[in-house]
Structure 1
């Protein structure tokens, strides 16, 4: 699930949210994102992700190098038996004099900004073959609904389905005890409909370095993985698959305490913007983001077993199938194309 600057199709999405204390950066969150993308526009395109981070720079993007299967290994760890298969970092503050950074990452040229309205001025730095048309209404949507959130615009141009290497990044979180995954959905280039429902085809994965003994499923990381990458990754994960029914449009949120106890049934859809911490109590009250503006999504029989065992993830979703997406040109109130 993501938002695109123009017509596109995304499928097979994997999202990862991790929480850990890094030896250099302190308490951080790690975000992983991967999908298969097809550009249906007449020219270059881009996907947009708003990030629940206090600050971001290109130094927060982690190169996976040859470990392009880093997220698929996590999926393999939690996938039910019998299901199909699918197959040098430094802490830097934000420079207020340079509010947009432009850099290459795998198949993308990334524009990273604190204010989406500043993106048009930096577009000339994107190579022509990846330079999309920017919809002012879409940029205004993010400025209004996600003020203060860093936004990553990942520009690409591939006419055929191509699975990029995972986007993996770390950051100081706005909400340390809430694991928030950006998952707004609209694939037409128009602003998303925050009141609509969308189709899904993705795995949602979680990790934490505070997991008790016996928690989750072990991940088979390759023994020769670079230390610079491995120290950002979990030993064990929990996760669930969404794809059998429409979901409210928005992101995912799960409290760290619920993650530690294995209650993935308490994942909520964040159907309106989560404000920065200085506005947290006014927006959500005392209970955090799953109170007031979150909707339960449920994960079937997987949750009952998690409540019983609180250490393992199994799945009630025995079928891993993709739902058919909308035709090109559908507007986002109908959910856009599937993610």
Structure 2
């Protein structure tokens, strides 16, 4: 369901990707990511996400504020029967790595994942994970055009984490892709493995016609600065209930999304070298 730097169990993953023309930032993708994490490592752990952009900084991360259930509200919209001070603090930066606090995480952003180990000394000890160099080399080899986010947490923080929300100029505006590679041991993911899935995949576009998708019920007190990045309606699919898929991400073209053809959601693997 995601990649961790140490032993962990993840369940109930909700991933959102929206395509929109923002009044200030132009054509962007907005990503939301949330799961239930159980840290099985002896010490701190981290969740790694590879994001299809070369332009990602702390200012691209959005605070959920009091609306920690925003992704669950999207799930409730597409499947009614489903069970379903927060500002970013800048810390410091290495030449190739940006480091900052966001919600319960200390986040490291790097376009060159091999630069991350040298920056780990900036992470507080109670959140500083052990990183397998082979895992970072995997990202460098397979996602050279992406930004990697290492979201460090400790045991006490994991259960109260709000969803990660961020926006970015995508590498391909017309392909909506969400990270879903799976490895919970700290090692690089096995691209030949079939892995169990437990994912809600939620999608939106501001070019959808009237009547497309399902309207989302947001709280009336949601901050406008957050609401401007969120969709009026979403479409979604659940993958789980004993289902297993070849290890990879989820992706769909904007054209198929506009047509409401969620059967065209595909499993995407990185290019092998």
TM-score range, shorter chain: over 0.9
Give the TM-score of the pair, scaled to structure 2.
Answer: 0.93
Equivalent-residue separation in structure 1 for 2:178 and 2:140 (angstroms): 19
5+ unaligned residues in a row in structure 2: which ranges? Answer: 88-92
The residue that corresponds to 1:111 in the other structure is: 108
2:56–2:147 contact (8 Å) kept in structure 1: yes
In the TM superposition, what whole-angstrom CA distance separates every residue of 1:2-47 from its partner, at most 9, and x where no partner exists? 1000100111100000000011110000010000111100111111
Map 1:258-269 to 2 at 5 A: 258-269=256-267
Which residue of 1 is the match for residue 90 of structure 2?
none
- Note if 1:73 corresponds to 2:73: yes
Per-residue deviation at 1:148?
A: 2.4
**Contact kept? 1:138, 1:189, Cα under 8 Å:** yes
Mapping 1:317-332, distance limit 5 Å: none
Q: Residues of 2 paired with 1:62 and 1:228: CA distance?
A: 9
- Deviation string, structure 1 residues 156-176 (Cα, Å, up to 9, x no partner): 111696152000000000011
Alignment length (residue pairs): 265
State how far apart, in whole Å, the 1-side matches of 2:227 and 2:166 are: 13
Structure 2 residue 30 is the aligned partner of structure 1 residue 33: no
1:123 Cα deviation after fit: 0.3
- Choose which of 240, 251, 254 in structure 2 pairs with 1:253: 251
Change (3 A) 1:163 1:11: farther
Provide the residue aligned with 1:58 in structure 2.
58
**4+ residue runs over 4 A deviation:** none
Q: TM-score, normalised by structure 1?
A: 0.75
**Distance in 2 between the 1:137 and 1:38 partners?**
23
Q: Deviations over 1:251-281 (max 9, x none)?
A: 011001101110000000002249xxxxxxx
The alignment partner of 2:149 has SS state of: strand
Pick aligned residue for 2:198 from 198, 201, 213: 201
Counterpart CA distance in 2 for 1:120 and 1:233 is: 34
Contact 1:38 1:160 in 2 (8 A): no
1:273-312 aligned within 5 A: 273=271
Cα distance in 2 for partners of 1:204, 1:42 equals: 31
When Rg is computed on C-alpha atoms for both structures, the one with the higher figure is: 1
Q: 1:15 to 1:252 in 2, by over 3 A?
A: same
What is residue 98 of structure 2 aligned with on the other side?
A: 101
Distance 1:270 1:28 in 2: 21
CA contact (8 A) 1:45 1:155 kept: yes
Give the 3-state SS of the residue equivalent to 1:118 in structure 2. helix
CA RMSD of aligned residues (A): 1.8
